[in-house]
A and B are shown apart, each in its own frame.
Chain A
Amino acid sequence: MIENERVLHDVAGALMDGAPVDWASAESKADDESMRRIVRELKVIAAIADVHGTSAVSSDSPSVDAEAGNLSSGQQPRDSVGAESPAQVHGTWGALRLLEKIGEGAFGEVHRAWDTRLDREVALKLLYRQDMPRAREASAVIDEGRMLAQVRHPNVLTVHGADRCDGRVGVWTEFIHGRTLEQLLQERGAFGAGEATLIGLDVCRALSAVHRAGLLHRDIKAHNVMREHGGRIVLMDFGTGIHYVDSNDSTAGLAGTPLYMAPEVLEGREATVRSDVYSVGVLLYHLVTGSYPISGHSVQEIRAKHSQGERTFLRDARPALPDDFVQIVERALSPELERRYESAGAMEAAVASAKEAPRSIGATTARGAVVRPAVDRALPLESAERTRWRPRILAIVAVLVVLAGAGSLWLAARKSDPPVIAVLPFKNLSAEPDSDYFVDGLTDEVIRNLSVIDGLFVRSSASSFAFKNKNPSPRDVSAQLNASLVLSASVLRAGTRLRIDAQLVRAADDLPLWSARYDRELKDVFAIQDEISRSIVNELRLKLGRGQRRYAANVEAYDQYLKARVLQARRGPATGQAIELFEQVVAKDPTFAPGYAARASAYGYYLAMQVPSIGGLPVSVDQAHGIVRRDALEAIQLDPLLAEAHDAVGWVKSLDLEWAEAEKSFRRAIELNPSLTTTSTDFVLSTLLPEGKLGEALRVLDDALHADPLSADARRTMSMVQISARQYDAALDNCRRAIELDRELHTANTRCEQALIHKGQVAEAIAMMEKFIADTPALKAGGGRGYGYLGYAYAISGRRAEAEAQAVRNEGLPHHQAMIYGGLGDKERAFAAIEQLAAVNPQRALSFLTRPELAVLRGDPRVTALQRKFGVLR
């Protein structure tokens, strides 16, 4: 997908520059028909520019624009590749041109290479042909490469691919210009504790990412950690146990280096997260001492020393080290697994607090708010606010102490005036001058995205750019633009990587309120601009705790959205129509978060309340589950402060039967927008009712009706809960009012009939239902199929044969059958029907158990077991 976008932007970029476009090749790069069609449309646009004589506008002045286009168009970057003319290429492997052999071992060689498809420099590890005799091993290497390619972290070597080509297996990765920690150690001697701490932090983060991907590293050592020119720490080479183990070596069967190996692994036990943690301990020990806690000349010797507890404690190896550093290393090196850090993240937190401790409180202020997007992104459905703060509780406390005085001023100011933000032109720290193009565009995007947020005022980009290259102080900016907050950022591009540091400062006193760092692989500039400007804006909103997003959406799309929301609130079959419209909305405007959120919630409702049912939707239940998940994620990423997005996440959680999580999401949604009554009804239908929390459900709906007394959906839902709570008079009143509000409201009449039955007016209810069925062609044809209440009413008024007949008619609709059997007092068949329902829709089964029609099952141990199984009883 990203590749496709790149092709499109490359072509559009060429169009901008009046550069020639190889249409055939562009079309061939697009990977499906719809993409090819878009490429062809670009060709039409190019022709239009031609006819208007505008395509030549900048072709006579290509210097800047064409050069700037390099950033996205895939020409070889001159700076790095000028020297590698094809003449110097010493071979090819697949689409890779081998440029230089940089390493060689018993099993293969490492090359610096050029990926001709993606036009980038890569490192290629190529295994020798003869060392891969068995296909199984070859494919294991490829599989491993594929798995590693999933680990995305700035401190982990990015694996681009793995393949078998010309009979040789290779894995190619990003190319790091820098030195290994071992090289640095050899050249400069032992590291200081401060520097080792910083490295430890990055290595722990990298390792967390590896573990989170379900992998173990198994070979952490100073040879395998590089420091890139510019300071980035990169964890490389994974010990796969396949291609780096010499079978003649006494370490046969072991992946990794014995000096770094945890004792249990040396004993032949499985490697674990904690054995990787042990290796990090050895690494840190080694960095500050140049030696190892346990050394030896053979595996046997090392193993023996481990079992005899013969290790040199760090304190003895180098006495003058900070206590907390020593404690962290010793804990990681603990021979007993249980005493080590339980995860790389736990170790990271310890290292981080060791790092923060000696600093002044002032220095922690800005750091406390540092965001690590890579972590946030890996936990997409967690609330971003929460995960962001997780590792740095101590630092946060410090921030709170410092802000205690100023903070109240900030809060006071918040209530009265909306903050005015000035965005300074982002600073370009890169050597490549054409990066200006990217940096200016990014600033503009951030301003553009900020300016659609209600409750924030943003100074126009023209006034911000008056400060370009001027390095003003926040106070100057504030004075001249009358802004209370100043957002500044710097952008550093190094090769294919991009680092952006952003911070928000309160102008009055230069107090940093927020800062973040973004580390990205520069693949598609547009995607990165979108992502980063979105992250900055969203995180600012979270930080400021305000800012409702306004959508300058496509008018037609918005109109459809509103229409669909009305249908959605009608519930029942109207949900299908709503979904159809939401599909069109997101197709018209793929950035419109409420569209995704609403589609997720509509499908969520369908899954929880309509399955199994007659007249379904165009997709299967499985597909619908996928859509709810995808859309909820998309919505929350686009707009983490959108109430509807939290509502959508609530549906995901309730479908997963994670009730507590679901409650949290819905409550957050209500908090963000209390006037949105569908959130309250969604909350009740998806979660509170299945949980049997009737009192809570009544309270939530009461609040919703207080906020919006004219919501038919809330009234109808209220009457439904009141029936379960045996408040029949109130239920009858509410369902009647709901019908007055919206005659097409789904099942409101059913609620009235249900209330009447339970009030004892059974004959009246039966007459109403029989008339309704006779008047509704679909129901009439089925003889009342899909109308279980009628059967229930027959049953309790002694017309058992008719009730039985209704049960037969409702074959395949266990929720209706359950009610009829309930009316007949037939516990066995009622429970069997509920069980059948629970198998396809546990939420609905749980909701039905609260109903008076199924009172017969009350206290039945099988019901209790069912409730326990689905997590609503503990």
Chain B
Amino acid sequence: MKADRNDSREPSSDRPALHSSLTLLERARAGDREALESLIARYLPRLQRWASGRLPPWARDMAETQDLVQEALFQTFKRIERFEPRGEGALHAYLRQAILNRIREELRRTRRRPARSELDSAAEADGRSPLEQAIGQEAIDRYERALAQLRPDDRELVVARIELGYTNREIAELLDKPTPNAARMATERAVVRLAKEMGKTNT
């Protein structure tokens, strides 16, 4: 089958193996430090890449991204007893939300810090994350609101594909889709639903 041929070319090194994350999570909850660290190591690179699109340049330049994401992951995994993941995909969406919350919190805190008088319009633009610069805060809000309205499985598909850049094969594994093709199709549907939901909040 063509699909297999294609997807076998995908790098598999950073693809978390099915179920093992959940096993690690179990152990981390039970206080296994090693399990916690390997979980963080597993998710950090991808979530860091993701966070770089969400942080203003000064935050990225200050190498805070790594710390911030790492810290958020650490905190999240430690407090994760409140979360019963249905699967890997759900875990991803959960972590992504946790980090997003952490970033917002951080931005609220730091935005109060810079001296207002020195801000000109360029600096203002500088203070905006790449995502904000690309589509504007209003569209981000619309997107986030719509994302929250989606059914969990759709939300997880969107996050995995659009934000975290998983391949169809990886999504199939993460979200228990029978084949990469089915994963692609399900994601496509989810994206259309998301756009419709965004269109609704727009009115």
Q: Contact residues of A with B, CB < 8 Å?
A: 5, 8-9, 12-13, 15-16, 34, 37-39, 41-42, 44-45, 47-54, 57-58, 61, 63-65, 67-68, 425, 433-434, 436-438, 440-441, 443-444, 447, 460-462, 464-465, 468, 526, 529, 552, 554, 556, 587-588
User: In whole Å, how far is B76's beta carbon from the nearest beta carbon of chain A?
Assistant: 20
B17 — which chain A residues lie within 8 A by C-beta? none
Are B3 and A554 interface neighbours, CB within 8 A? no
Q: Which of B56-64, B66-74, B183-191 contacts A (4 or more CB under 8 A)?
A: B183-191
Shortest beta-carbon distance, A742 to chain B, in Å?
33
- Shortest CB-to-CB span from B201 to chain A, Å, is 9
Known: A52-B49, A63-B5. 13 other contacts (CB 8 A): A12-B191, A12-B192, A45-B194, A49-B163, A52-B131, A54-B163, A57-B161, A63-B6, A440-B179, A440-B185, A441-B181, A441-B186, A444-B178
Question: In the complex the two chains form, what is the Cα distance from A258 to B186 in whole Å?
Answer: 55
Judging by beta carbons under 8 Å apart, are B162 and A48 in contact? Answer: yes
Alpha-carbon distance A461/B7, docked complex (angstroms): 20
Is B43 positioned at the interface, with any CB of A under 8 Å from its CB?
A: no
Residue of A nearest to B190 (CB): A12
Of all chain A residues, the one with the shortest Cβ separation from B189 is A526
| A contact face: mostly helix, strand, loop, or mixed | helix
Contacting pair B130 A51 (CB below 8 A): yes
Contact A48 B178 (CB under 8 A): no
Given contacts A41-B199, A52-B50, contact A440 B178 (CB under 8 A): yes
Complex CA–CA separation, A444 to B187 (angstroms):
13
List residues of chain B with CB within 8 A of the CB of A468.
Answer: 178-179
B151 an interface residue at 8 Å Cβ cutoff? yes
Whether B78 sits at the interface, judged by CB under 8 Å, is no
* Closest chain A residue, CB of each to CB of B138: A44
| Inter-subunit contact A433/B2 (CB<8 Å) | yes
Asked if residues A34 and B178 are in contact (CB atoms below 8 Å), the reply is no
Task: Establish whether residues A444 and B182, one from each chain, have CB atoms under 8 Å apart when the complex forms.
Answer: yes
| Interface hits, B124-158 → A, CB 8 Å | 130-131, 134-135, 139, 142-143, 149, 151
Cβ–Cβ contact B135 & A48, under 8 A: yes
Q: Which residues of chain A come closer than 8 Å to B180, judged between CB atoms?
A: 64
B167 within 8 A of A: yes
List, sorted by A's number, 12 A–B pairs whose CB atoms are closer than 8 Å. Answer: A12-B191, A38-B195, A41-B195, A41-B202, A47-B135, A52-B50, A52-B53, A52-B163, A54-B165, A425-B178, A434-B2, A460-B176
Docked pose: A440 CA to B184 CA in angstroms = 10
Identity of the chain A residue whose Cβ is nearest the Cβ of B132 in the assembled complex: A51
- Bound together, the chains give a CA A63 to CA B142 distance in angstroms of 33
Q: Is B98 among interface residues, defined by CB-CB distance under 8 A? A: no
A64 touches B143 (CB 8 A): no
**Which residue on chain B has the smallest CB distance to residue A62?**
B6
Q: Which B residues are in CB contact (< 8 Å) with A529?
A: 185
Chain B residues, Cβ within 8 Å of A462: 176, 178
B135 touches A44 (CB 8 A): yes
B138 CB to nearest A CB, Å: 10
Q: Known: A57-B167, A437-B3, A461-B176. Is A9-B192 also a contact (CB below 8 A)?
A: yes
Known: A16-B184, A552-B151. A49 touches B162 (CB 8 A): yes
Q: Which 3 A-B pairs have the closest CB atoms?
A: A54-B165, A441-B185, A64-B6
> Whole-angstrom distance between the alpha carbons of A425 and B135 in the complex?
41
A554 touches B178 (CB 8 A): no
CB distance from A432 to the nearest CB of B (A): 11
B184 contacts across to A, CB distance below 8 A: 16, 65, 68, 437
Is the Cβ of B163 less than 8 Å from the Cβ of A38?
no
Quote the shortest CB–CB distance from A595 to chain B (angstroms): 16
Minimum Cβ distance to chain B for residue A426 (Å):
10
CA distance A38 to B203 in the complex (A): 11
Give complex CA distance A663, B195 in Å.
43
A47 and B178 in contact, given A8-B192, A9-B192, A41-B202 (Cβ under 8 angstroms): no
Taking a contact as CB atoms under 8 Å apart, the answer to whether A48 and B131 are in contact is yes
Contact status of A45 and B167, CB under 8 A, knowing A63-B2, A441-B185, A444-B182: no
- A15, B191: Cβ atoms under 8 Å? yes
Query: In the docked arrangement, what's the CA distance between A42 and B190, Å?
Result: 11
Instruction: Across the interface, name the chain A residue whose C-beta is closest to B18.
Output: A462
Of B49, B142, B178, the most chain A CB neighbours within 10 A belong to: B178
B65 interface residue per 8 A CB criterion? no
Q: Which residue of B lies closest to A71 (CB)?
A: B185
Contact of B1 among A57, A436, A441, A526 (CB under 8 A): A436
Contact (Cβ within 8 A) B164 A52? yes
B109 within 8 A of partner (CB): no
Complex contacts, A5 vs chain B, CB 8 Å: 192
CA distance A588 to B5 in the complex (A): 40
Residues of A within 8 A of B95 (CB): none
A425–B182 Cα gap in the complex (Å)?
A: 11
Contacting pair B134 A45 (CB below 8 A) = no
* Chain B residues with CB under 8 A of A15: 188, 191
Q: Which residues of A contact B34 (CB under 8 A)?
A: none
Chain B residue, CB-CB nearest to A437? B181
Alpha-carbon distance between A556 and B186 when the two chains are bound, in angstroms:
23
Contact A61 B10 (CB under 8 A): yes
Chain B positions within 8 Å of A42 at CB level: 191-192, 195
Docked CA distance A148–B163 (Å): 48
Give complex CA distance A433, B195 in Å.
Answer: 30
In the assembled complex, the Cα of A51 lies from the Cα of B189 at a distance in Å of 21
**Chain B residues whose CB sits within 8 angstroms of the CB of A434 once the complex forms:** 2
Query: Which chain B positions have C-beta within 8 A of A440?
Result: 178-179, 181-182, 185
Q: Which residues of B contact A13 (CB under 8 A)?
A: 188
Q: Please, which residue of chain A has its CB at the minimum distance from the CB of B191? A: A12
A592 and B10 alpha carbons, distance in the complex (Å): 38
A45 neighbours in B (Cβ, 8 Å): 143, 162, 191, 194-195, 198
Cβ contacts under 8 Å, B134 to chain A = 47-48, 50-51
A654–B167 CA distance with the chains assembled, in angstroms: 54
Q: Are B192 and A48 in contact (CB under 8 A)?
A: no
Distance A51 CA – B134 CA, assembled complex (angstroms): 7
CA distance A556 to B5 in the complex (A): 43
Q: For residue B202, which residues in chain A have a CB less than 8 angstroms away from its CB?
A: 37, 41
Residue of A whose beta carbon sits closest to that of B4: A64
A51 touches B131 (CB 8 A): yes
**Cβ of A443 and Cβ of B182 under 8 Å apart?**
yes
- Least Cβ–Cβ distance between B150 and chain A, in angstroms: 9
B177 within 8 A of A: yes
Complex: A34 Cα to B162 Cα, angstroms = 23
Minimum C-beta distance from A602 to chain B (A)? 23
B2 contact from A58, A67, A464, A552, Cβ within 8 A: A67
Indicate if the CB atoms of A461 and B165 lie closer than 8 Å.
no
- Residue of A at shortest CB range from B202? A37
- Also in contact, A53 and B178, with CB within 8 A (given A44-B135, A45-B194): no
Interface centre among B1, B151, B188, B192 (most CB of A within 10 A): B188
Q: A38-B195, A48-B163, A64-B5 in contact; A464/B188 too (CB < 8 A)?
A: no
Closest to A462 in B: B176
Instruction: Return chain A residues, CB-CB under 8 Å to B113.
Output: none
Q: Are B6 and A465 in contact (CB under 8 A)?
A: no
**Which A residues are in CB contact (< 8 Å) with B9?**
61
Of B5, B49, B182, B196, chain A has the most CB atoms within 10 Å of the CB of B182
Compute how far the CA of A433 lies from the CA of B181 in the bound complex, rounded to whole angstroms.
12
How far is it, in angstroms, between the C-alpha of A125 and the C-alpha of B18 when the chains are bound?
Answer: 57
Min CB–CB distance A560 → chain B (angstroms): 13
Q: Inside 8 A of B178's CB, which chain A residues have their CB?
A: 425, 440, 443-444, 447, 461-462, 464-465, 468
